[in-house]
Amino acid sequence: MKAKARTIRSILWAIIALTVMSSCNQQKDEENISSKAVHMKVDSRPVKAELTAPPFVPKPVGNRAPQKLIVDMEIIEEEGDLADGVRYVFWTFGGTVPGSFIRGRVGDVVEFTLKNHPDNKLPHNIDLHAVTGQGGGAEASFVAPGQQKTFKFKLINPGLYVYHCATAPVGMHIANGMYGLILVEPVGGLPPVDREYYVMQGDFYTKGKHGDPGLQPFDMQKAYDEHADYVLFNGKVGALTGDGRLTAKVGETVRLFVGNGGPNLVSSFHVIGEIFDKVYIEGGSATNYNVQTTLIPAGGAAIVEFKVEVPSNLILVDHALFRTFNKGALGVLEVTGEENPVVFEGEVLEGIYQPEGPTIQKVPVETVAEAPAKVLTKEEKMELGKKVYNTSCFACHLPNGEGLANAFPPLAKSDYLNKNVDKAIDIVLRGLSGEITVNGQKYNSQMPAQVLSDQEVASVLTFIYNSWGNNGTEFTEEQVRAKR
């Protein structure tokens, strides 16, 4: 019996040792891949690389042999939307922010031609982090308007890499949108998935405040101070919401190629309502599993993968959340299909994590258990109302009721409030959405219903109507009760 137990034990040890050795070998393979890749044979017939605009990516490389890839990219300086009503002069690789997605495999030789459009005003270049060589190609590609430059490199390390302009002032060229991603797939290609998307974060600095309309010039001082007015996915507030939202069906596997152009801020990339089954950390070969939030450095990337199990609107965010709800870093991945109550069962409420710009979710205000039965005086309502306002309302409408341009209407001196006294209680109880005009400005945001007691509703409305130049209406608990 003893001998048998010993034999089993030896077999187990052998299995463990083999497993450890094979994972060590795998690691060695990864470490040595670049020296191997240098000598990989390349099919010398040139193939034009497929380039795609975000959020799309070119076809996977699959199991093909190394090729000679021809990449033609044009730099275009052009005015576009930073947000609805906010214009900005972007400098782009291929006409989009982020720039065109490039996809190859380890061992490919890339012949890269960079054109600088004749209508452009400035010289530019490209530094690709996937390049081993001087400046990542920056010197070799430095090109004046109306000119073009060609240089050549071999992809010797697999991974997801950032490219960017490196013309002085470098930070400014990047801040204006000059960055993108190049994917170098490993030997045999990445495992197949159902959906792949291209998302890249960047921070923007404008002369005006966030949301100030019209053409906004770049602000060098704010960029220097790292005070971003906009933090965006794919170069525009709402690029990945509404018609631009990403989509998937229940049961599918999704792979996001996520980059961060910076120039200044690191991204705490997170998808609300999902867990990353797998993360290629920093876009390299090491993988982590079951991750909530992954850090993406400025000038870095990550590949995240997950299977979508239930229908929902997954929200892509930088979990430094003021960037999401107040500076624009918010995207949506809409998952449609059959409910699966085994995985999730519960009420789906509108108004939580709304993609239409900065909004606040329902904040239940604790109702005092022994609420006074007596009717509050106006002064008492003002006092309670101010407290409620500072808990539930101020985040959107701001402490002095002035609102946020293009997002949240002002409550101060509000012609809308003063002529709609009848509607006010309804708005607090049930929320308000759709276009309204306040003091001559159009707003189209969504205010969620508020969870408040009758006394709190009467008090907060009394406070609002008796502050900031409004018409002094006083509200009572009975009025609120009647509207419930």
Nearer to Cu ion, 219 or 356 (CB): 219
Give Cα separations from 73 to 7, 93, 141, 261, 476 (angstroms): 63, 7, 11, 18, 66
Query: Rounded to whole angstroms, how far apart are CA atoms 299 and 390?
Result: 39
Per-state percent for the chain, helix, strand, coil, to nearest 5: 25, 30, 45
Question: If we measure between CA atoms, which residue out of 93, 96, 98 comes closest to residue 301?
Answer: 98
- Cβ at position 178, least distance to Cu ion in Å: 5
Smaller CB distance to Cu ion: residue 64 or 117? Answer: 117
* Least separation in angstroms between CB 297 and Cu ion: 21
User: What is the smallest separation between the CB atom of 298 and Cu ion, expressed in angstroms?
Assistant: 17
Taking the least distance from each CB to Cu ion, the nearer of 105 and 124 is: 124
Q: Pick between residue 178 and residue 393 the one whose CB is nearest to Cu ion.
A: 178
Q: Output 149 or 381, the one with its CB closest to Cu ion.
A: 149
Q: Which of 7, 310, 464 is nearest to 473 (CA)?
A: 464
Specify whether the CB–CB gap between 225 and 200 falls below 8 A.
Answer: no
In the complex with Cu ion, the residue whose CB is nearer, 173 or 255, is: 173
Secondary structure (H, E, C), 353-417: CCCCCCCCCCCCCCCCCCCCCCCCCHHHHHHHHHHHHHHHHHHHHCCCCCCECCCECCCCCCHHH
The least CB distance from residue 124 to Cu ion, in Å, is 3
Q: How far apart are CB 263 and Cu ion at their closest, in Å?
A: 12
Residue 66 burial (C-beta neighbours within 10 Å; 0-12, 13-18, 19+):
buried
Closest approach, Cβ 176 to Cu ion, in A, equals: 8
Contacts with Cu ion by CB under 5 A lie at 124, 165, 167, 173, 178
Q: Which is nearer to Cu ion, 140 or 246 (CB)?
A: 140
Count of alpha carbons within 13 angstroms of residue 438, beta-carbon side: 25
- Determine the longest span between alpha carbons in the chain, in angstroms: 95
- The least CB distance from residue 120 to Cu ion, in Å, is 9
